[in-house]
Amino acid sequence: SIKFEVAIVTGNLPADYYELITPSNVHDDLNYGYEYENLIGTYRVVRGNSELPDEIYIPEYYDGIPVTEIGILDWDSDSEPYYDSPFRDKTNITAIYISEGIKGIGHYVFYGCSNLTNIIIPEGVSILGSRVFQYCDNLTSVTIPASVKHIGVGNTGGIFYQCSKLKKIIVNEGNQNFSSDGIILYNKDKTEIIDYSLASGEVTILEGI
């Protein structure tokens, strides 16, 4: 038999190395946990410790079980999604790599990640919760796949509130619910403005709105 000593290494690790390894249902401030969804047999990523690497990798599977959600998608209370948002206010994070298989990104998940510069949401994600990117001060571009069907709207601004450097919202042309033009997010027919950034400049309101 062989015994392996396993240590938890802190610091800036390569994106393909760092995985979240704390057992399910752990909500200790010193740990980073997956919460197991017993009814559907998947994991979701919840809560994070105070120190995380600059680059984060969300794996497709944990312990042989699919990881399908990041953060809380339900509004059971006004505070729960905020405190169970794993990357909220992690100002050191510069890159987040999300594996295919994620179906939903919950409320506040990247809220306050002020050094995150761009993010590609993978195909398969269907829900973006409220305030996902609020106060991402250095975010310059976001790519939204064809699979997104719902984008939450918070009562203190949309998902791009205070994203003052956002230059481009890219919506896959195959998306049946949303479209974009520069820094403005529209419904598919561009008859309704869904969200926009705080970047300054000229905006043309399209006919029909």
- Average pLDDT score over residue span 173-185: 92
Percent residues over pLDDT 90 in the chain: 25
Which pair of structure tokens corresponds to residue 144? Answer: 């939204």
Angstrom distance (rounded) from CA 124 to CA 190: 23
pLDDT of residue 187: 92
pTM for this predicted structure: 0.76
At residue 125 the predicted structure's pLDDT band, cuts being 50, 70 and 90, is very high
Angstrom distance (rounded) from CA 7 to CA 16: 17
Torsion of CA 38, 44, 45, 47, to 10 degrees: -50
Least confident span in 25-29, 59-63, 160-164? 25-29
pLDDT of residue 14: 40
pLDDT of residue 15: 41
Kindly report, residue by residue over 60-73, the tens digit of the pLDDT.
Answer: 877 677 888 888 87
Angstrom distance (rounded) from CA 173 to CA 81: 31
At residue 9 the predicted structure's pLDDT band, cuts being 50, 70 and 90, is very low
Which pair of structure tokens corresponds to residue 147? Answer: 């699979």
